[in-house]
Structures are given as C-alpha cells and as structure tokens.
Chains A and B, each alone.
Chain A
C-alpha cells in the first residue's frame, strides 16, 4: 500500500513542484515584481536559450568547457589513483606525501588560479591543470583509504595461492578498490566542473564561465539565466550517468 502510494504520488508531486516553480518565476517576472534586468521571464530565457543553441555559441562554449573539465579530470584522477595506491603500499611515499595532502586537501584550490595563469597562460592549459590540481586530493585520499582497508583475507588468500607482488597489485588490491575509487570519482566530477566554470569566470579565455560573466557585465540577463540552466542540466546529466554506471557495473560492491 505504502509502496504503491510512493510510486504514484512522488513523481506527481515532483513534477508539480517544478511546474509551480517555473510558473511562479514567469508570473513574478511578468507582474514586474522584479525588474526584467534582474529576473527575465522564463519564456524570454527559453527563447534566448534556443537562440544560443541555434547560432552555435552555446555548443562552442560547452564543448570547450567540457573538454577542459574532462582533460583535467582524467589527469587528476589518474595521478590521484596512482599516488593513492603508492601511498598505501610504500612507506616512504606515504611519509613524503601525507603532510602535503593534509595541507592541500582542505585548501580552496581556486585561490591558486593566479599562479596557474602566471605559469601556464590564460588559455586551456592553466584551467586543465587547475582542475587536475583540484581533483587530485579527494582521489588520493579515497584511493589511499580504500587500498588500506582491503580485507586481509583477500591478501592472505592470494599470497597462499602464490601471487607475486605485481599480480597481487593488479588482480587483488586494485579491483578491491574500484567501488571506493568510483565513489571518489563521483565527488571529483562536480569539483572538476565547478573549478572549470569558476576558472573561466575569473581568468576568461572562453568557455561557459567566460560567456556567463561577460553577459552579466553587459547586463544580458536572459543569457545569464540560459547559461545557468545549461550548467544545471550538465551537472544533472553527468550525475545521472555516473549513477547508472555505478548500479550497472559495480553492483557487486553493495554501496
């Protein structure tokens, strides 16, 4: 009974609340509760969004931002997994990196953007490296703690079956870490997106963030809203895709 209720009611209420929100937005804007500069009606934003799609500016900005985010993510996640595994298995590496990670993990990475711009210019390279720098710390910590908590039973069983160091690493420790690594990957993706957009807003050089901030400076509010809506959808889609991936390929891991 309760179950059926949830199934039949929850989507209805969810859709209702979204429609209510959009209607409230539209009426508030149409009734001039706020100047159109501050709150353009939803319909105007939709038209602007369509125009941005039609004239291709959105596609270019989105492709540039996503490319930067993914290059940075790939770099940061690969390096983070490697360093995390090394820290978990090699004492010297752990001793050397632990204080740096402890200091780097809580620091707001966006504060480093002037350094990256100084060293790598205002084009894509500085953004990619900043994204990698922002993503690497959670991945290191996640991989490290995953590799440290691999069940002793697995290790002992593999050892007694005669695994050498290499196959132990490749066939026991790494697969045992996959679920936790994926969890940290789910943390790293939004961090990568946020860092890309913010870096583009602060340092320019094209992309979603740069166009957003230019539109704001020239008071083109519909574009500002349209771009925010697109960013929201990108975030939602990526998270949805990762959830699907997790439930499909990592079902054995149970959470």
Chain B
C-alpha cells in the first residue's frame, strides 16, 4: 500500500525521521555551546566521522558479524528447542509436571548471571556467548509456544480429527499453526534477549565481538568511536527487530490481529 503512494509515504517518512534530526541538532547545539565537555559527549559530527572510519576500516563489520553469529546461533538453537519443549509440555501432562519447576525456576533467573559460570565451563569466546544466548532464548520460546498450543480451540482439533487427520498432521497443521502468532511473539522477545546476552557475554568474557569493542573504546577513552560502535549496535538491533516484524506480517496474513498489529507498527 505504501509503495503505491510514493509521494505521501516519503513525506510521512520525513515526518518520522525529523524528530531524530531535531534530537541530533539539539545534541550538536549542547556540545557547540559548551554546555557539556566534548570529552564526555562527542559531537554528532565526530561520531559520524568515527563511524565512517570504523566502517571503511572493516573493524566494526568484522566484530558485528562475530556478535551476529553468536546471537544468531543461540537464537536458532534456543528457538527450535524451545518450540519442541513448549509443544511437549502442552501435549503431555507428565512431561509438563516434571519440566514445570525447572522452567519456572530458570525463567526468572537473570540469565546473565550464568555468564561467569559458562566462562568457567567453556572458556572465553564463542561457546560461552552462544550458551548464554541459547538459555535466554529458550525460555520465552517455551512459554509462548506452550501458551499457543494450550489455547488451541477444541473445535479445531475435533474437526480435524473428524476429517481423518493423523496425529502427526495434527501437530503441524493444527497445534503449531494455532501457536504460530504466539511463537512469533516469543521470537521477537528472544531476539531482544539474544543481542543483550551476546553483548553482555562479550563484555564479560570475550576477546572479540562488538561488545568487547565498545568496552575497549570506553577503557581507552576513544569516546567518539565508542558512541559510533553503540550507534551501529542500535541500528543493527532495530533492523533485526523490523525483519522479525516483517516476517511476522507475511506469515500471519491469515491472522486478523497480527495483521492489524503489523500495519500499525509500519505506518
């Protein structure tokens, strides 16, 4: 829809970006007027220059890819296991009874507390970060999948059974299909966690990755570069979140509420 109306959508887009530019102008003004020392708050111009430098040098790209790899690997593994466990919990009372206390207990545990433990077990680097991301992503996926499967209307199950759907088909065509909106909601939450945990793990126990990079620039006092690296993280996280929303919108065109929610966020 917004592709057809090219003119109005450009204006709308400018309208949405304008506050950010305003914010940037205010930032520049605060620095130029010496309200704050540029030692503590580099001007936007300095940050943009630093960002250009980082991007052309390839330093940020390499480290962001390392972080994305860790976050992505943990997210994918955690989501797959989470959907499986959530489905099992919803379909088997026995399994649920055994697993519930473990899920309930670890759900409210701040997952970053496990980073020192994982650092002890797996050393410094990929495995620690991936394990932390995995656990953080696992729990929202379990809880959301469980909720989605449990709330499957009985009518749907009965109708499918009456039409001769086998148990295996029932799983993918009824339960998982019905849980899809919840699973995608869980995925969006898990995505947020995956960045937080990957970056935390890098700050605490890693020699590379964008978290370590930010931390190093902070310790060296090259603050323009630190701000530029943080800005890159914010942009990447924003784009990843939009990607999940886009996929959600595409996958759930059949689902009334999700479609509306998608429209609302995009416009």
Q: How far is the CA of A198 from the CA of B101 in the complex (A)?
A: 25
Name A196's closest neighbour in chain B (CB-CB): B110
Which residue, of B19, B110, B119, B210, has the highest number of chain A Cβ atoms within 10 A?
B110
Q: How far is the CA of A224 from the CA of B93 in the complex (A)?
A: 34
Flag the segment in A10-18, A56-64, A244-252 that touches B.
A10-18
Is the beta-carbon distance between A224 and B117 smaller than 8 angstroms? yes
Is the beta-carbon distance between B203 and A13 smaller than 8 angstroms? no
A167 interface hit (Cβ, 8 Å): no
Interface 1/0s, chain B 228-262, versus A by CB < 8 A?
00100110011011000000000000000000000
Q: How far is the CA of A235 from the CA of B120 in the complex (A)?
A: 23
Interface 1/0s, chain B 32-70, versus A by CB < 8 A?
000000001100000000000000000000000000000
A96 interface hit (Cβ, 8 Å): yes
Is the beta-carbon distance between A202 and B101 smaller than 8 angstroms? no
**B119–chain A nearest beta-carbon distance, Å:** 6
B163 interface hit (Cβ, 8 Å): no
Name A111's closest neighbour in chain B (CB-CB): B233
Q: How large is the interface on A (under 10, 10 to 19, 20 to 34, 35 or more residues)?
A: 35 or more
A9 interface hit (Cβ, 8 Å): yes
Name B232's closest neighbour in chain A (CB-CB): A111
A interface secondary structure, majority: helix
Q: How far is the CA of A112 from the CA of B211 in the complex (A)?
A: 10
Within 8 A of B (CB), among A87-124: 95-100, 102-115, 117-119
Is the beta-carbon distance between A236 and B105 smaller than 8 angstroms? yes
Given contacts A95-B15, A100-B19, contact A107 B116 (CB under 8 A): no
Name A114's closest neighbour in chain B (CB-CB): B218
A83 interface hit (Cβ, 8 Å): no
Residues from chain B with a CB closer than 8 A to the CB of A201 are 112, 115-116, 200, 204
Interface 1/0s, chain A 215-243, versus B by CB < 8 A?
11001010011011001100110110000
Residues from chain B with a CB closer than 8 A to the CB of A106 are 191-192, 237-238, 240-241
From the candidates B16, B100, B226, B237, name the one contacting A108 in the complex (CB within 8 A).
Answer: B237
From the candidates B97, B100, B105, B199, name the one contacting A110 in the complex (CB within 8 A).
Answer: B199
Is the beta-carbon distance between B196 and A109 smaller than 8 angstroms? yes
Within 8 A of A (CB), among B187-205: 191-192, 195-196, 199-200, 203-204
A139 interface hit (Cβ, 8 Å): no
B81 interface hit (Cβ, 8 Å): no
Which residue, of A111, A119, A228, A235, has the highest number of chain B Cβ atoms within 10 A?
A111
Is the beta-carbon distance between A18 and B20 smaller than 8 angstroms? no
Is the beta-carbon distance between A221 and B120 smaller than 8 angstroms? yes
Given contacts A100-B20, A100-B23, A224-B116, contact A213 B110 (CB under 8 A): no
Is the beta-carbon distance between B104 and A236 smaller than 8 angstroms? yes
Is the beta-carbon distance between B199 and A9 smaller than 8 angstroms? no
Q: How far is the CA of A221 from the CA of B20 in the complex (A)?
A: 47
Q: How far is the CA of A144 from the CA of B98 in the complex (A)?
A: 39
Is the beta-carbon distance between B199 and A14 smaller than 8 angstroms? no
Given contacts A201-B204, A225-B117, A228-B109, contact A115 B227 (CB under 8 A): yes
Is the beta-carbon distance between B109 and A14 smaller than 8 angstroms? no
Residues from chain A with a CB closer than 8 A to the CB of B204 are 198, 201-202, 213
From the candidates A102, A114, A232, name the one contacting B215 in the complex (CB within 8 A).
Answer: A114
Q: How far is the CA of A232 from the CA of B241 in the complex (A)?
A: 29
Is the beta-carbon distance between B111 and A194 smaller than 8 angstroms? yes
B27 interface hit (Cβ, 8 Å): no
Given contacts A107-B238, A114-B217, A118-B223, contact A239 B112 (CB under 8 A): no
B94 interface hit (Cβ, 8 Å): yes
Residues from chain A with a CB closer than 8 A to the CB of B93 are 6, 9-10
B214 interface hit (Cβ, 8 Å): yes
From the candidates B100, B117, B120, name the one contacting A14 in the complex (CB within 8 A).
Answer: B100
Is the beta-carbon distance between A115 and B238 smaller than 8 angstroms? no
User: Can you list 21 pairs linking A and B with CB atoms under 8 Å apart?
Assistant: A10-B100, A17-B98, A17-B99, A18-B101, A99-B17, A99-B20, A103-B234, A104-B234, A107-B238, A109-B196, A111-B234, A114-B214, A118-B40, A194-B196, A213-B116, A224-B116, A228-B109, A231-B109, A231-B110, A232-B105, A239-B107
Closest 6 CB pairs of A and B: A114-B218, A235-B108, A13-B97, A106-B241, A216-B116, A108-B195
